[in-house]
Structure 1
Amino acid sequence: MGKIIVSENVSLDGVVQDPTGEEGFGRGGWFRQLGDKDRAAWAELELQEALGAEALLLGRRSDAWFAARWLSRSGAWADRLNNLPKYVVSSTLDVPRWSNSTVLKGDVVKEVLTLKRELAGDIVVYASIQLVHTLMEHDLVDELRLTVYPVVLGAGERLFGGISETKPMRLVDTRTVGDGLAHLTYQPVPRNGLVPVVDG
């Protein structure tokens, strides 16, 4: 049985919008404020996560964004990301942009449940905020890995904006990345002591 791992970069106040400053958000570009030591430590963290992943799960826009940045690169991290199996959730996409990708066009919940049954290991979700909202809403996330950047933006799209009910979490790991980043790992607290089940 696969595990859905949501791995995100967030500001101190939970904003995920436009980390690289390419989307026109006035407070974007916060990822680029990293110093060299923090950037190197973050890259090593991400490489190790990619090496431990079984597959990636992405939304349509994230598929295009990552493809444009990674397909032309080489090296251990790029090779791993480009070669991993990828599953792109979209009702409109026919041909995904990133390599080794399959489009999931049906009902998102059913498609993800099927994917979890068919794969063993970590199925990592990067970016793909609308997809993350859907996964959280339907209790399909097995683990959250948040890399927290030491900046308060005060505005912007937040990782969990629009979730309809409380989602209790338990902290299972913390670590410092470089000098300024915190990496926090959470797992959902089962409701009434039972793991939620959604019929396929």
Structure 2
Amino acid sequence: MRTLTYYVGTSLDGFIADPDGGLAAFPITPEVVDHIAGEYPETLPGQAREQLGLSGPGKHFDTVVQGRGSYALALDAGISSPYPHLKQYVVSSTLQIEDPDVTVISSDPVGAIRALKQEEGAGIYLAGGGNLAGQLLGEIDHLIVKLYPVVLGGGIPLFGTGFAPTGLTPNTHQLLGDGTAVLSYQLSR
């Protein structure tokens, strides 16, 4: 069975984006880029992969799922297929997408993820956002957090849920030279 991995960057105070969904507050240093390109190259959007000279299949994932807000970042940049190297799904009850490479999940994201997990293939990358991660918390198998050395003071939370304690089992951790910590967990069931 395929697994769902929430691979995400967050501030020390638990925000994955500023209040408007922007990511400019996160320090994307050469150490962070090297880590992503070396360990999770498929999580980079197509445009970034081209700039870094990356091609071919990924190491972990062949599918990406993201919420409307995360997908809007690409649309705002004029890109309708941000991850052309992956099967792409966007969860939105209102968005109409014209790109044939992007499938909209308009209802029941939990059921859709359960169905995707039953299909043949590599892992599924949950690219965001926090609200979607909160809805899918019971389906997330792995959480990999790039913990940036920055405090935002507000914004979009890592998990947009109410009070829902969920146990985590640590897997690995790595401290990059710029102070970013990469923490990997398995969700306890």
| TM-score interval for Structure 1 and Structure 2 normalised by the shorter chain | 0.7 to 0.9
TM-score between both structures, scaled by the size of structure 1: 0.74
SS in 2 for 1:82: coil
More helix by share: 1
> Kindly tell me: are residues 49 and 177 of structure 1, through their superposed partners in 2, closer, same or farther at Cα, counting changes over 3 Å?
farther
For 2:160 and 2:72, locate their aligned partners in 1 and report how far apart those are by CA, in whole Å.
Answer: 23
**What residue is the counterpart of 2:41 in the other structure?**
47
For 1:6 and 1:85, locate their aligned partners in 2 and report how far apart those are by CA, in whole Å.
Answer: 16
**What residue is the counterpart of 2:74 in the other structure?**
66
Structure 1: gaps (5+ residues)? 73-77, 191-200
Q: Deviations over 1:153-174 (max 9, x none)?
A: 3333321243332101011111
For 1:107 and 1:62, locate their aligned partners in 2 and report how far apart those are by CA, in whole Å.
Answer: 18
**What residue is the counterpart of 1:172 in the other structure?**
171
8 Å Cα contact 2:8-2:144 kept in structure 1 = yes
8 Å Cα contact 1:2-1:120 kept in structure 2 = yes
What is the total number of aligned residue pairs between the two structures? 175
- Residue correspondence of structure 1 range 3-152 to structure 2 within 5 A: 3-18=3-18, 23=20, 29-31=24-26, 33-47=27-41, 51=58, 52-67=60-75, 69=77, 71=79, 81-95=83-97, 100-136=101-137, 139-152=138-151
Please provide the CA RMSD for this pair. Answer: 2.9
- The sequence identity of aligned pairs, in percent, is 29
Task: For residue 24 of structure 1, report the CA deviation from its aligned partner.
Answer: 8.1
Q: Deviations over 1:9-67 (max 9, x none)?
A: 0011211123xx9x387xx6321x34434444444344165612120011123223235
Task: For residue 132 of structure 1, report the CA deviation from its aligned partner.
Answer: 0.6
Q: Which one is further off, 3-12 or 173-182?
A: 173-182
Q: Deviations over 1:160-195 (max 9, x none)?
A: 2433321010111111234321111111112xxxxx
Q: Deviations over 1:132-171 (max 9, x none)?
A: 11001xx110000100101123333321243332101011
For 2:71 and 2:43, locate their aligned partners in 1 and report how far apart those are by CA, in whole Å.
Answer: 18
SS in 2 for 1:62: helix
- Residue correspondence of structure 1 range 158-197 to structure 2 within 5 A: 158-190=157-189
> Kindly tell me: are residues 61 and 179 of structure 1, through their superposed partners in 2, closer, same or farther at Cα, counting changes over 3 Å?
closer
Give the number of the structure whose alpha-carbon radius of gyration is greater. 1
Amino acid at match of 1:13: D
